[in-house]
Structure 1
């Protein structure tokens, strides 16, 4: 291992120039050369960044440089004990809330804030060495450093898997993603322009916690960050009792529907459950937080997302709905359910045999499958997003990707990457061997268990999609902190490859989509490791270990929930453990697997028009690209087409109300307060998000185990007023006559 002296001292010197760490408002010129950000870009460097982030891309290296110090105890026993404890805690809590609606995720920032005081307290313990020969270790290795802190927290992020909806989170899926991320790091981790905004903001907090805190007033506020966090954690804890237990109608305060509970149009427009929620009012932090983190998402991203909601859901969907396009008026406007031609839930048992195989004759005698208009629009926008992100990546980053493919150092390296050369890197073949082993285990799984997925399907479809889509997805998320919901394209391909098989479709969705999603999570962690100068091999071992611990914990928590929570996944579950995410996955497996896309989207089928969105995505991307090239200083510089089309990917189970709340709170904090009180925003904004998340989580756990689990209910007008509205009952605009149906009847469709 090279010594610290081998690192370029001039590069490390940048640490003294920007002691406050990076922010979105980083300097737009280089502190040493005075050159503008655009002048500093080198050929072959990925330079497509959002306008609000682009100014800091050239100087982020010099504004947040940590030195390489080999005496930092990044992999001491203390670090592994704390990591194990918090991985189990966070993975268990997130699994518990994952089946609740609205769900709540305890995020990265909360881990940073909770680990810090424990680590500082640990360093005060007596120095005691456990004598085990070559395996001897210190219980207290010394000062709790920022790098040890980062090492622990980076590995905690393995605690939120996508596949918790499927009852278990298998290490095969995780390590498959880990291998892909490692092999693709030269394109999605190393480039300086891919700043991974979440990692960047976390770096700010790490340095704020470990460096002397600035005492100057921030727009009149002098309270320390930790006191701020504690006070607002208490505030969030107390506040959540009202919408979750004391006055539950405050969660979706659709008072207009209370006044006219049986007016379908009013309930569809102003309802906040199955309606559009045009007057969104809520004190429920889980509702505000569900569509996205309002305080940590850059406002231009929020605007791109909300523009989609306004155009397609607030404006277009009522027109289509009340003109009965696709027979949608016989169904609720927003719903995650699937329906038959009588408006009832689709009875899948009527179209399959005893082995769950699709039977054409039974299908012909029953009904086509219908979905709500909101659900259909989400699929169309998802089609556009998939093709848009591929074209967007080619137009903006094609040359840079090819240059990096030929030479991983093409375009130069930023200071973080250069400093990391002081450590022994993880060679590509480590990730390659891990990927090959996982592929072998995956082949054994689909070969010897009844998954209905052939081996070639696993290798070609699942692994192939991961290889093809990891770069577009990585570049998009690395620059904008947003990702495309690629589950739609995996479901579509699986639907044509394995017609009539819901299980095979679900397997492809999990292997194919999960490989990309978790690869993004691991890439983000690798970027954080680069920012914080964590030894790559220690991080490699930590991520594998944390993934295994998280898997075991989540499986145990889920099994406990299945055995101890009554009516789990029931739509009327009194504690809101309705498993909406699982319901969406189930319905998707029926749509794309059992029924198949050929009976939903092909020529002559009800939703065939949605297939044109595959063309709309790249066409709009090309148009915006050339308009932006022609007018680079116009508002078009804030438009990101993949994000625009992808924004509604959470609908369902999310509602337009939750997107509206996300936008309103984001506007207040990330636009209005950011402009009027920037110093307050810089010091406290991210902490407020973490404090509200923590307080809400603590309140939810206490309410459930102290009151709900024991059957203690509070029944009064404020908790019952919204239960009798057309909005809460998902009443459609048109009714099917007794014994009748809408659309083609039995034998009249294919």
Structure 2
């Protein structure tokens, strides 16, 4: 609900402005037009609604394969199957835990689950992201790993977990007082510093750089436009057709609605922090600081999302700030991260929906009320569902104890948990400060601030070369930002599909692309979603996870990809390399 406040403050810039077009909304607009427009079918062809239904039914029918019969098609890594006993080969070929050379998938959810639909992402954004991904995963990461940067070979090459100096999983209970949920300095001194996989180390550095690059990119490339929009917003002089029609036909949502809601919700946000015996650890000033952080970053993050379909997160900077100010308190770190980062993400979703209403000419007041009611209902359902799953699914979020084919592996939540250890329990001072192993990662802030300037200079020197302005440094630097929750195979599938449809098909079959591209994406998404729901309520809810065979594992069968390659490091299930 906090996000509604930020959305209300910045809607003039991110909704009314014709320059903020929100690519993902084009899927929804195309679907709504297909469902509601009266269209005459051409001879030998299909109407858009018929095309949607064909895609939906096909996607729905096929999705039983990755959902139930053959989950392994979510990542097929042939290199691992050929070299079954080689750690190096599996590191190179694993699509889920390695570099993913030769890995691919036959599942739409692998394509679109982490990076939004590639069909809705503009070709220039796909290129920027894939360039950044290739640079990080195939240049920076191999060099860092095989040169043993930060003792990289003691740990998996790509992992979101935390480790001891000898490569074992970190036992958090030894550095956390479970009575007070605070950092145990004595236990930490007698145990081990926290070690990260080399990719996880550089992913944090790249997160620092991405956030800094976002700010400088928005200022130097969009600063003048935003200033002009601010003047236009005050004078109410936007001139595009959508804005004129909305202004002519409907009353806007009064600004005081947003401010009143924001004031009420800020008060409600403080209640659980100050109440319940302060079990959440975060004091009232921490809530206000998180709110200020969200307010500051919503506009630049919104500009990037509205023009590229890629959302950059505040999670790392939120954890860093509260980790320095209020170290040793993991619950405070998580709560601060939620109020700062998640409220910004909700604001972006709310603005995106408002832009959809802008395109579809939905009365703004009706849109606001429906979203408000929907949010209350949805939040209650989410909470109830989460509580139900946590209390009924045995070993939920613990892949080592779950049955084969179980979907309850929780990759994103696993990262959230490990981040609470890094930033909340041990704290950034002992990770990225003078007491930690990774203090050099702070230089990435400087790299990020400076990165957009060469592109800006080139665009001024060669103004006739429009392609230069399409180089987006926040996207390039943050190209691999969805890893390690996403996997390398997700990126390759997403990039290939995105380039095929938004570059090849767009150029050669522009008429087909304009008519069917976004409807194709909607049909694929809907088919996967409905089959997932059907599979759960009819099969998985009863503990039926598919036939017992090799392909029933939600895995790419590369068990050695997570093994260390440093001599003398012993990890269960892995060979020990000799000195």
Length-normalised TM-score, structure 2: 0.91
Aligned to 2:577: none
State the distance in 2 between where 1:208 and 1:229 align.
8
State the distance in 1 between where 2:530 and 2:30 align.
25
Aligned to 2:128: 304
Other structure's SS at 2:480 match: helix
Distance 1:531 1:237, change over 3 A: closer
Distance 1:682 1:634, change over 3 A: closer
- Residues 17 and 229, structure 2, Cα contact 8 Å, conserved in 1: no
- Residues 282 and 332, structure 2, Cα contact 8 Å, conserved in 1: yes
| Residue in structure 2 matching 1:445, options 248, 253, 272 | 272
- Residues 136 and 480, structure 2, Cα contact 8 Å, conserved in 1: no
Aligned to 1:58: none
State the distance in 1 between where 2:59 and 2:467 align.
36
Other structure's SS at 2:17 match: coil
Distance 1:345 1:738, change over 3 A: closer
> 1:532 Cα deviation (Å)?
2.2
- Residue 325 (structure 2) pairs with residue 497 (structure 1): yes
Aligned to 2:181: 356
- Residue 422 (structure 2) pairs with residue 580 (structure 1): no
- Residues 601 and 611, structure 1, Cα contact 8 Å, conserved in 2: yes
Other structure's SS at 1:649 match: coil
| Residue in structure 2 matching 1:197, options 13, 23, 26 | 23
List aligned pairs for 1:647-662, cutoff 5 A: 647-662=479-494
Other structure's SS at 1:421 match: helix
Gapped regions of structure 2 (runs ≥ 5): 572-579
Distance 1:238 1:734, change over 3 A: farther
- Residue 375 (structure 2) pairs with residue 547 (structure 1): yes
**CA deviation vs aligned residue, 1:471-509 (integer Å, no higher than 9, x gap):** 111222222222212111111111111111111110111
Aligned to 2:439: 608
Other structure's SS at 1:648 match: coil
State the distance in 2 between where 1:655 and 1:192 align.
35
> 1:723 Cα deviation (Å)?
7.3
State the distance in 1 between where 2:569 and 2:408 align.
34
> 1:290 Cα deviation (Å)?
2.5
List aligned pairs for 1:289-438, cutoff 5 A: 289-292=112-115, 293-353=117-177, 354-405=179-230, 408-409=233-234, 412-414=237-239, 415-422=241-248, 423-438=250-265
Aligned to 1:35: none
- Residues 77 and 556, structure 2, Cα contact 8 Å, conserved in 1: no
| Residue in structure 2 matching 1:639, options 471, 474, 481 | 471
Aligned to 2:32: 206
- Residues 94 and 556, structure 2, Cα contact 8 Å, conserved in 1: no
State the distance in 2 between where 1:576 and 1:291 align.
16
> 1:409 Cα deviation (Å)?
4.0
- Residues 225 and 684, structure 1, Cα contact 8 Å, conserved in 2: yes
- Quick check: 402-411 or 241-250, which moved more? 402-411
Distance 1:398 1:521, change over 3 A: same
| Residue in structure 1 matching 2:303, options 475, 488, 499 | 475
List aligned pairs for 1:587-736, cutoff 5 A: 587-603=418-434, 605-632=436-463, 633=465, 635-712=467-544, 713-719=546-552, 725-727=558-560, 730-736=562-568
| Residue in structure 2 matching 1:558, options 373, 386, 399 | 386
**CA deviation vs aligned residue, 1:519-576 (integer Å, no higher than 9, x gap):** 1111112222222222222222111111111112212222332233232212143312
State the distance in 2 between where 1:533 and 1:227 align.
25
Other structure's SS at 2:39 match: coil
> 1:288 Cα deviation (Å)?
1.6
Aligned to 2:287: 458
> 1:382 Cα deviation (Å)?
0.9
Gapped regions of structure 1 (runs ≥ 5): 1-174, 740-750
Other structure's SS at 1:650 match: coil
- Residues 276 and 655, structure 1, Cα contact 8 Å, conserved in 2: no
Higher RCO by CA contacts (8 Å cutoff, separation 6 or greater): 2
Larger Rg: 1
State the distance in 2 between where 1:259 and 1:252 align.
15
Other structure's SS at 2:119 match: coil
- Residue 365 (structure 2) pairs with residue 537 (structure 1): yes
**CA deviation vs aligned residue, 1:647-693 (integer Å, no higher than 9, x gap):** 22211211122111101111222222222222222222222222222
- Residues 104 and 492, structure 2, Cα contact 8 Å, conserved in 1: no
- Residues 297 and 666, structure 1, Cα contact 8 Å, conserved in 2: yes
- Number of aligned residue pairs: give it: 560
> 1:245 Cα deviation (Å)?
3.0
State the distance in 2 between where 1:237 and 1:735 align.
48
State the distance in 2 between where 1:659 and 1:607 align.
27
Distance 1:471 1:249, change over 3 A: closer
| Residue in structure 1 matching 2:90, options 259, 267, 274 | 267
> 1:711 Cα deviation (Å)?
4.2
- Residues 22 and 309, structure 2, Cα contact 8 Å, conserved in 1: yes
State the distance in 2 between where 1:191 and 1:296 align.
20
> 1:361 Cα deviation (Å)?
2.1
- Residues 216 and 222, structure 1, Cα contact 8 Å, conserved in 2: yes
> 1:385 Cα deviation (Å)?
0.9
Length-normalised TM-score, structure 1: 0.71
